[in-house]
Amino acid sequence: MLAIIVVAIIASSMGGDSDDNSSNGSSQAADSSISNDSESSSESESDSSVPTEYKSALNKAKSYSSMMNMSKAGIYDQLTADAGEQFSAVAAQYAIDNLDADYNKNALKKAKSYQDDMSMSPDAIQEQLTSDAGEKFTPEEAAYAIQHLND
């Protein structure tokens, strides 16, 4: 029951953010600040010197990745958004840096959802996956998803 409530809360907090043009400037800044480095999240979480806010941001990031198959930029934006989780940029960056996520897999799951649920063409899916107003996956992650769409 708790999982259902958590999913409902996450889904409701996501509502309407993708069309908010006021966040485009901040998402571009976020994209440039997102690091590609990744550490083991279990090491980071067990470190008592890690602030609680950082640990909380990482836990939220894990949920967004595993339950909603979000992109790195999408997770960062949701963690820092005024209409989202409202974590500090530093806490969100910590979460992104320590999140063990397979963004190719997330992009593929999103792509299959668009194909199965919305009957979108591969070109339209690729556009949605990479759009700043859409999923914000990298072109490489979207290409992987399109390549494996019918596997």
Residue that wins the pLDDT comparison between 76 and 23:
76
Query: How far apart are the C-alpha atoms of 45 and 24, rounded to whole Å?
Result: 31
Query: How far apart are the C-alpha atoms of 37 and 52, rounded to whole Å?
Result: 21
Residue that wins the pLDDT comparison between 74 and 44:
74
- Give the mean model confidence (pLDDT) for residues 51-61: 97
Whether residue 56 is predicted with pLDDT greater than 60 in this model: the reply is yes
Q: Please, which pLDDT band fits residue 35 given cuts at 50, 70 and 90? A: very low
Whether residue 105 is predicted with pLDDT greater than 70 in this model: the reply is yes
Burial of 139 (0-12, 13-18, 19+ CB in 10 A): exposed
* Structure-block tokens of residue 145: 């998803």
Question: Which range, 1-15, 39-53, 73-87, has the best average confidence (pLDDT)?
Answer: 73-87
Do 78 and 34 meet the contact criterion of CB atoms below 8 Å apart? no
Q: 10 Å Cβ neighbour count for 124? A: 13
Q: How high is the pLDDT of residue 44?
A: 46
